[in-house]
Structure 1
Amino acid sequence: MRALLQRVTRAEVTVENDVIGRTGPGLLVLACAMQDDDTASAEALAAKVAKLRIFKDETGKMNRSVRDVSDSALVISQFTLAADTRRGNRPGYSDAAPPEEARRLFDRFASALADLGVPVETGRFGAQMQVSLVNDGPVTIWLES
Structure 2
Amino acid sequence: MPVLGYNITKVDVERDAQNIASGQVEVKLSPRIKELRLGEVRTPTGKVTGIEVLFAYEISYNPQIARAVIEGSILYLPPQKDKTDEILNIWEEEKKVDSRLFVEVINFLSVQLLPMLTVIAKEMRLPYHIPVPRAELRTQ
Give TM-score scaled by structure 1 length.
0.27
TM-score normalised by L of structure 2? 0.28
Larger Rg: 2
By relative contact order (CA 8 Å, sep 6+), the higher-ranking structure is: 1
